[in-house]
Amino acid sequence: MTYLNTITNHIETKIKIMPKKRVRGVFLEVLPSSKKHNQWEEFYLETKSEKYEIPHTNKLNKLKFEYLQMLNDEVFFKKLNELAQKEAEIIQQHCIINPHITLGLHNNERNGKITTYVIARAPFFVNNQDRREIKISLNKLSEYKGRTITDLKYDEKFMTHVKTKMKNAMMEEMEKIFTKKFPEQIEIENNQGY
């Protein structure tokens, strides 16, 4: 058995126990995010040196410099971006095959009047955003003639309709091009912490 077959068998075993709601990747989490530092930035920024530990400080700063050089390698970035894109596509396909739909209510206020709508959500990787779910709006709650969210949840015909709408929204999102990219050059100051 080859090394690749061994890894593939191990991954397939893990996938069997993977929860249906999984929407996080591995390399996707390394990509820059609009909301926070990505993981390599956090790692880099959290490693500070002490001014009284000169030999260790010099070694730490040298290691951090080498780390940034490796991160700035164009071939590495390209491969990392390709892996992240592949993960996004895998997550999207997994979510469309196994949609984990939940129903909820959304109040919309307009001209002082509140209208309640039924919404459906499902875990999903939305391209070019940090969102990890997709949401669709259904009809006004009043259009369901006094039925509650619980009533709708257990209505097979209704849920089949919602599932079809959700899958259509997912397929529409999947047609958008994944464009998250790393910056051309990473520039973080050497944060020695003093």
Pairing mode, if any, of strands 133-140 and 113-123? antiparallel
Residue type, 170: M
Residue 2, pLDDT score = 58
Element (H, E) at 121: strand 113-123
Supply the angle between the helices 39-46 and 54-71 in degrees, to the nearest 10: 160
Residue 161, pLDDT score = 96
Provide CB contacts within 8 A for 81, sequence distance 6+. Answer: 31, 180, 181, 182
Residue 193, pLDDT score = 45
Residue 192, pLDDT score = 47
Residue 32, pLDDT score = 61
CB atoms within 10 A of CB 186: 16
Chain Cα centroid distance, residue 14: 19
pTM: 0.66
The residues of the chain scoring below 50 in pLDDT are 4, 7-8, 10-20, 182-186, 188, 190-194
Residue 84, pLDDT score = 84
Residue 51, pLDDT score = 65
C-alpha span between 71 and 106 (Å, rounded): 43
Q: Extract the tokens encoding 47.
A: 């490693």
Residue 7, pLDDT score = 47
Residue 155, pLDDT score = 95
Residue 87, pLDDT score = 86
Instruction: Tokens 């090394």: give the residue.
Output: 3
Residue 73, pLDDT score = 82
